[in-house]
Chain A
């Protein structure tokens, strides 16, 4: 987006909604803002309709604050809880359908590369665990096999939450949920490892309990996707509504689960991606 494109026409200053004026005056487009600046700029997500204590909502805010170039980022979403928030995100965003987000993003990225060969246009997929690991797994993996220059982000709340709490491939083994009345029979799908083997140059697993770590992983993923190939970030945030814990426990539970080793942050980086990151980060210490 050209600098200065996003502005209010003279005479309309008073009638534009307050949040729109704030976005024009203090938005993050081209401003180099990050997670550390939250509170000092107008966020791209205006309110949100997700449940109290939803880790996805926090993840989405951190995700949006972490984008290295929001003024040139198009996000592709899928059906699910996160898609409820997308209409309130001030980036061009596409609700694909359910599961085809990576296929759609492949076409979009290639089209933008044709139209803007000399410009960076980041295409980032952000979808839930059902969309990514179940119904869309073939299209997710084929975008990796094809080495598409896109970043895939999974918001892993460990269930189909928007449809009322059914088992997903990312639910922990043994969990009783709808459609798993006797408990889930198989373990969480090891998608970070699948991503690594399927050709992702960078893979990260994190949670919204550590915002700066999430930011670092997401930025790395996007920077690597620009230059090298597909990248994947898995954000762990179990659903308070369906796993039935108090909204104010989300972060403490995430920290506890990490301490107990139930949730393990991960980073898989190819040699080529590491070289690039070393160059970009000047030293490359994670």
Chain B
């Protein structure tokens, strides 16, 4: 039997136990404590194991419903239906699965569904790859979802639990994607501190939603007198235009909750350094290692870990990079989507170094970042 406790107690006060687990197992530990009603799964490497493990805890009684859908678009649709029906849901995908399901993500946001989905990133076709790559995040940034990027399994565990706390706030109530770099996080083992397994989050209250639960326990009403997709209809235009702004505003309103639960949208180490490395995901770990090695050479670089990409920490990054002479943005993808985001907010963006970039399924040697740091100090 699990006991319901406040999010604050579960996240910050309960005494944590250390486990030596993979990222997939960290997903299991988070969902076990998240009081999730229903999860729907579909296999794709490198995500599959996490949803196997969620299936295991369903069998143990931690969830009330679980099944395998027929493809990712169907799974994301069924998850939407369940969320509209007023239950707390979880699913996970990655890479090609993310792209297969893509139409649903903006639908989730537009329907104000507080879905939490884990994305275990991987390269997309063609050619076929099952290797690590964060390219899918470039596509996801403008779906209207809140986008968090975990550095490691501890982040993944904590961000999943915190995602429910943020997503379900009445003035937010939009989906949260928690992204973790496939293989690097999902398939490697590390120390993760977890709260006791007999504690769980309070249940979701479907009547706290800013839109009615689709359960016919609210008064049904005709939404409008004219069909909303009729052309040349000013009201339909105005409704859609204002709704798009409302979804973006909901993401903006999440900042205060992200500050509370995540401790801000960024973490900064050595903020006053002349050279800053700005990164998200596992690129943060490699950057930290590079910065440590550079310090031995007397080159003191700083680190900005971006935890939330939507909402984007524009002000935070603008301020922290103001005094730096160079900003290095290492990434695990070819297009450099994080670099684009950084360049858009840094005041003098000629000092932004777009790289190193590793893609197509390769680890990033710290040496690549060290070379950039040396070049910037030279």
Interface residues of A, Cβ cutoff 8 Å to B: 1-2, 5-6, 19-20, 46-47, 49, 71-74, 76, 83-85, 87-92, 94, 96-97, 100, 103-112, 114-116, 121, 138-139, 142, 146
Contact = CB atoms under 8 A, between A and B. Distances in A.
Contact of B216 (A74, A96, A106, A142): A74
A105 B82 CA distance: 8
A161 B226 CA distance: 19
Contacts of A88: 222-225, 227
A2 B86 CA distance: 17
Contact of B38 (A84, A114, A138): A114
Contact of A108 (B67, B82, B229): B82
B85 A115 contact: yes
17 contacts: A6-B220, A85-B227, A90-B221, A91-B216, A91-B220, A100-B73, A105-B81, A107-B85, A107-B89, A110-B38, A110-B65, A111-B81, A111-B87, A112-B215, A115-B85, A138-B70, A142-B74
Nearest to B65: A110
B10 to A, nearest CB: 22
Interface string B72-86: 011101111111111
Interface string B336-348: 0000000000000
A87 B74 contact: no
Nearest to B37: A114
A103 B216 contact: no
A121 B217 CA distance: 10
B292 to A, nearest CB: 47
B74 A115 contact: no
**Chain B interface mostly helix, strand, loop or mixed?**
loop
Nearest to A162: B229
A49 B77 contact: no
B217 A142 contact: no
Given A6-B219, A112-B85, A87 B227 contact: yes
B222 A90 contact: yes
B219 A106 contact: no
A103 B222 contact: no
Contacts of A49: 226-227, 230
Contacts of A121: 215-216
B79 to A, nearest CB: 6
B273 to A, nearest CB: 48
Interface in B49-82: 64-65, 67, 69-71, 73-75, 77-82
A88 to B, nearest CB: 5
B326 to A, nearest CB: 45
Given A97-B103, A111-B84, 8 more contacts: A73-B216, A74-B216, A92-B212, A103-B69, A103-B75, A110-B85, A111-B86, A121-B215
Contacts of A106: 78, 81
Contacts of A105: 81
Contacts of B89: 107
B29 to A, nearest CB: 23
Interface string B86-102: 11010000000000000
Contact of B214 (A46, A47, A89, A92): A92
B280 to A, nearest CB: 30
B228 interface: yes
A85 B87 CA distance: 28
A138 B71 contact: yes
Contact of A107 (B64, B82, B217, B221): B82
Contacts of B301: none
A154 B333 CA distance: 44
A242 B32 CA distance: 54
A184 B314 CA distance: 55
A216 to B, nearest CB: 24
